[in-house]
Amino acid sequence: MDQRELALSAFVATASGDRQARLSGLEKLAGGAIQENWSAQLTLHGAHRPVVIRTDAPSGVAASRTRAEEFHLLKAAHGAGVAVPEPLWLCTDPSVIGKAFFVMARVAGTAAGHQVVKDPAWGGDRTTLAERLGAELARIHAVVPPRPDLDFLGPPPAHAALDRVATYRDWLDAVGRPHAALEWGLRWLERLAPDPAAPVLTHRDYRTGNVMLDQTGITGVLDWEFAAWGDPMEDLGWFCARCWRFGVDGLEAGGLGARADFYGGYASVAGRPVDDAAVRYWEVMAHVRWAVIALQQGERVLGGGETNLEAALTATLVPQLELEILRMTKES
Amino acid sequence: MRHAPTGADLLDVARRQMLDVLVPALPAEHRYAALMVANAMAIAGREMRNGAAGQEEELWALSALYGEVPEAEPGDPQAMAQALEAIHRQVCADIRAGRMDPHRPEHDALRATLEELAQDRVAETNPRYLSGT
């Protein structure tokens, strides 16, 4: 057992109250520019359980949420009955492994977007899956302010849609080059912003690619680092937006299922029907948001001389996002 | 003068070599990176083939919205780029200020023009996207 495993085991023994508890078989998982994930085996009260240890990546890229905040978000979601990897223990003491980390259950399956849309073996029956995806989202939205455990989220925006428009305009201005199609989309979003909804916990990256699936259904909703108080329809729009269907455009619920089934699953938990017009509004917002983020990715390559082909190619998605925005905002 | 094969031809041949010979020989963990390289080469090749012709059309189309005829000489790429940037900034400022809202006569024409320009760009960056719609 190496130093790190000894330190982690000592932490888990204290945190769990089981003096025999230990973490072993640490293995670094692929991916993650901002976070670093390690798989490990937890031995607790004599039983074994696969877990993930999540911590910051050494690159120190400014993340939107700290690991501690992410842990509290997972706790809140888990408490609301959302399918998430069960959060176990948080350690903010840097003396254990040199940085904050938390331990969560390891869920089985895959999240990879291109893979799950192509292979129907993932996620089980697609009607049931689309309903489940809607239902999980409605459970997230059942978390509402005030929540002292989530006070790091700050006060809810007075008008989520207009708040987003202002933010994306700022981001666009920071990029510096004129993008008429995105201005067009932002002006449309500003003019036609729906009345503000009562704020709920929104995931803000709920889409195919961030939901772990196994052969029978959903095993865990991942990537909580963008979560914020907001308009619930923003999450439905992000999920249904064409740019997140991974090429399977006919299945409007994330390339995985029918929009009607997704709405139906959401309504069954939320207790009210989904306002389709509101979702379509937020789909335009989704394309604008993704386009501005893609531009920022391109800037990393142009500005800093960083050789990151993936970021450079992400920026080449902007024209198709713009095309979609212009088509969706055709009036009369 | 340059003789064939042109830069765009070379990119095409290099890309085929990459996909047909190198990609199958690569270990699985490097295949994604190689496919990204091939994609970047394809986009660059399409842009080279289109040259600057699209820029000229773009400048004319946007100027027409304002009832203007562009002054930049087509033969002067730098003046062309400057004129294009200037008119884009004008369009952006007008949209943001509400001067292109539906009550304005230019509204529909601007949206249609921007859609055509976006379509031309997608034809370079991802032509398959167009066949799917």
Which residue among B40, B85, B96 places its CB closest to the CB of A309? B40
Instruction: Name the residue with higher pLDDT: A331 or A69.
Output: A69
> To the nearest whole angstrom, how far is the Cα of B2 from the nearest Cα of chain A?
29
Question: At A139, phi and psi to the nearest 5?
Answer: -65, -40
Same domain, A38 and A101: yes
CATH number of the domain that residue A87 is part of = 3.30.200.20
**What average pLDDT does this structure show over A226-243?**
97
Whether the predicted model's global pTM rises above the 0.90 cut: yes
Q: Do B119 and B63 fall within a single domain?
A: yes
pLDDT at A61: 53
Judgement on whether residues B75 and B90 belong to the same structural domain of the protein: yes
Q: What is the mean pLDDT of the segment spanning A186-215?
A: 96
Helix (H) or strand (E) holding A102: strand A101-105
Does pLDDT of A35 surpass 90? Answer: no
- What's the rounded mean pLDDT across residues A224-252? 96
The reported pLDDT for the residue numbered B110 is 97
Give me the residues paired with residue B22 across strands: none
The verdict on residue B108 lying in a domain is yes
B70 and B83 together in one domain: yes
Residue B18: its chain A contacts at CB < 8 A? Answer: none
Q: Which of A132-141, A305-314, A319-328 has the lowest mean pLDDT?
A: A305-314
Q: Which residues pair with A213 in a beta bridge?
A: A110, A218
Tell me, yes or no, whether A270 and A290 share the same domain.
no
Indicate if A95 and A177 belong to the same structural domain: no
Same domain, B40 and B60: no
Alpha-carbon distances of A139 from A136, A231, A240, rounded to whole Å: 5, 14, 18
Q: How many CB atoms lie within 10 A of CB B59?
A: 22
Bridge pairing between strands A87-91 and A228-230: unpaired
Across residues B55-71, what is the average pLDDT?
90
Q: Which of residues 243-272 of A touch B (CB under 8 A)?
A: 247, 249
Nearest to A178 among B92, B119, B129 (CB): B92
Q: Does A309 touch chain B (CB under 8 A)?
A: yes
- Is A179 an 8 Å CB contact of chain B? yes
Q: What is the pLDDT of residue A291?
A: 97
* Confidence at residue A276, expressed as pLDDT on a 0 to 100 scale: 97
CB–CB contact A319 B43 (8 Å): no
A93 with A136, same domain: the answer is no
Verify whether the Cβ–Cβ distance B40 to A317 is below 8 Å. no
Which has more confidence, A259 or B32?
A259
Q: Higher confidence at residue B1 or residue A77?
A: A77
Name every chain A residue with its beta carbon within 8 A of the beta carbon of B96. 169, 183, 186-187
Q: What total number of domains does chain A contain? A: 3
pLDDT in tens, A50-69: 999 999 877 555 557 889 99
In the predicted structure, residue A131 carries a pLDDT above the cut 70: yes
Determine the pLDDT at residue A65.
Answer: 84
Closest CA to A75 of A63, A91, A86, A64: A86
A95 and A128 within one domain: no
CB contact under 8 A, A309 and B114: no
Whether the predicted pLDDT of A29 surpasses 90: no
- What pLDDT does B133 receive? 53
Listed range (A132-141, A194-203, B65-74) with the worst mean pLDDT: B65-74
Residue B59 and residue B97 share a domain = yes
A259-270 vs A126-141: helix axis angle to the nearest 10?
40
pLDDT, tens digit, 9 for 90 and up, residues B6-48: 999 999 999 999 999 999 999 988 998 999 999 999 999 999 9
* A186 and A323, same domain (yes or no): yes
**B129 interface with A at CB cutoff 8 Å:** yes
Question: Are A145 and A212 contained in the same domain?
Answer: yes
Could you tell me the pLDDT band of residue A332, with boundaries at 50, 70 and 90? Answer: low
Q: Is the pLDDT of residue A325 over 60?
A: yes
pLDDT tier at A233, thresholds 50, 70, 90: very high
Task: Residue A285: count other Cβ atoms within 10 Å of its Cβ.
Answer: 26
Distance from CA of A292 to the nearest CA of B (A): 15
Q: With pLDDT > 70 as the criterion, what percentage of chain A qualifies?
A: 95
The one-letter amino acid code at B133 reads T
Count of domains observed in chain B: 2
Check whether B119 has a pLDDT greater than 90: yes
Contacts with A291 from chain B: Cβ below 8 Å:
none
Q: Is residue B1 part of a domain?
A: no
Residue of A nearest to B84 (CA): A178
Question: Maximum CA pair distance of chain A?
Answer: 69
**Does the residue A180 lie in any domain?**
yes
Tell me, yes or no, whether B2 lies in a domain.
no
pLDDT at A31 over 60: yes
On whether residue A243 sits in a domain, the answer given is: yes
How far is residue A27's CA from residue A143's CA, in Å, rounded to a whole number? 34
Q: Which domain holds residue A261?
A: 107-149+202-274
Between CA A223 and CA A104 the distance in angstroms is: 13
- The pLDDT confidence band at residue A306, using thresholds 50, 70 and 90, is low
User: Do A186 and A330 belong to one domain?
Assistant: yes
ipTM attached to this prediction: 0.94
| A154, part of any domain | no
For chain B, percent of residues with pLDDT exceeding 90: 74
Q: Mark whether B125 and B76 lie in a shared domain.
A: yes
- Predicted confidence at residue B19, as pLDDT, reads 95
Residue A127's pLDDT band, with cuts at 50, 70 and 90, is: very high
B65 and B92 in a common domain: yes
Q: Does A147 touch chain B (CB under 8 A)?
A: no
Shared-domain flag, residues B69 and B32: no
The dihedral built from the CA positions of residue B69, B73, B78 and B79, taken in this order, carries a sign that is negative
Q: For residue A299, what are its two tokens?
A: 């800037």
In this predicted structure, the answer to whether residue A81 has a pLDDT above a threshold of 70 is yes
The Cα A1–Cα A96 span in angstroms is: 15
pLDDT band at A1 (very low <50, low <70, confident <90, very high): low
Q: How far is CA A87 from the centre of its chain?
A: 16
The tens digit of pLDDT for each residue in A153-184 reads 999 999 999 999 999 999 999 999 999 999 99
Do B96 and A183 make contact, defined as CB atoms within 8 angstroms? yes
Q: Are residues B101 and B76 in the same domain?
A: yes
Please identify which residue in the block is written with the tokens 């562009």. B70
Residue B101 to residue A191, Cβ atoms within 8 A: yes
More confident call, A97 vs B70: A97
Co-location of A115 and A139 in the same domain: yes
Identify whether A163 is part of a domain: yes
Q: Can you give the residue range of the structural domain that contains B34?
A: 7-50
Contact A313 B119 (CB under 8 A): no
